[in-house]
Amino acid sequence: MHIIGPHTSIAGGLQKAAEQAAALSANGFGMFTKNQRQWRAKAITAEEASRFKETLSALGFTAHQILVHDSYLINLANADDEKWERALAAFVDEIERVETLGLQLLNFHPGSHLGVLDTQTACRRVATALDRAIEASEYAKLVIENTSGSGSTLGSTFEELAMIMEASRHSERIGCCIDTCHAHTAGYDLSTIEGFETAMDRFAALVGMDKLWGMHLNDAKSHAGSRLDRHASLGAGTIGWETFDHIAGDERFASIPLVLETVDESLWEAEVARLRWGKDHERTL
């Protein structure tokens, strides 16, 4: 059965993310481990970690069903050495928090070269940061998320994702998360099953399907190739339900977390129901 759920809130305690997911009949979820717009947070206490793990166990969740997202502030492609070191330290802290909670997957954006570096150099800089972070941690897997390609951000093409992974000395601990909205607005038209499969063929050729460790299922408010990162509820954007139904029925994606970051929380339960049990069982959208 596919692993499906929304990115839920940790307000009130880390365990609240799992409780909210379970209340929505999800069997997976995404989460932060701290405020995503702060560089650092107080360390997770043994009591907090224990409560989180106990909640997961009681609700039937396991580590591979949870995709943690790091802080939006971290830019591992920064050309400024001092700022890069600060970003790296924050990233290592994110990994430590994941491992403290007994989780496995940390999703992150590759960052931006800010117009200072060429793409290849910036990708190598990200890879160097990942290598240092991996060497400073125990086991967590680092999951690069593709981007919409706005401004000077890296990762809008599968070529750039592959470039980062190929430059790393520890690629066995690095995989990818495909965000459908980002891919679509970056120029991979996912509005048809044929278009989606063309994109997957490209990903498979450049990166490898064995390196797809998660997906963000988001519709897009803007058209394919617009480079605008504007999420929409499933079926309410320019991708459409046909593609999302296809993903939810495809065994290639059955063992990785498929996380919703859609904009209307009141629709999450219905979106989860349709993805998990098919459109014949959907709630009213």
Show the tokens assigned to 83. Answer: 């700022």
Only one residue has tokens 């709630």, namely 283
Show the tokens assigned to 12. Answer: 């009130």
**147 in Cβ contact with 182 (< 8 Å):** yes
- CB atoms inside a 10 Å sphere around CB 77: 28
Which entry of 109, 113, 125, 276 is annotated as an active-site residue?
109
- CB atoms inside a 10 Å sphere around CB 120: 12
Which entry of 37, 47, 118, 251 is annotated as an active-site residue?
37
Rg from Cα positions in the chain: 18
The reply to whether 182 belongs to the active site is yes
Which entry of 2, 97, 184, 216 is annotated as an active-site residue?
216
Burial of 210 (0-12, 13-18, 19+ CB in 10 A): exposed
The reply to whether 54 belongs to the active site is no
The reply to whether 216 belongs to the active site is yes
The reply to whether 72 belongs to the active site is yes
The reply to whether 69 belongs to the active site is yes
Cα separation, 68 vs 27, whole angstroms: 15
The reply to whether 2 belongs to the active site is no
The reply to whether 139 belongs to the active site is no
Which entry of 93, 94, 219, 229 is annotated as an active-site residue?
229
The reply to whether 223 belongs to the active site is no
Which entry of 2, 7, 97, 182 is annotated as an active-site residue?
182
Which entry of 7, 184, 231, 274 is annotated as an active-site residue?
231
The reply to whether 118 belongs to the active site is no
Which entry of 96, 145, 219, 282 is annotated as an active-site residue?
145
Which entry of 40, 54, 72, 166 is annotated as an active-site residue?
72
Amino acid letter, residue 138:
E
Which entry of 99, 261, 265, 269 is annotated as an active-site residue?
261
The reply to whether 145 belongs to the active site is yes
- The catalytic residue positions are 37, 69, 72, 109, 145, 179, 182, 216, 229, 231, 261
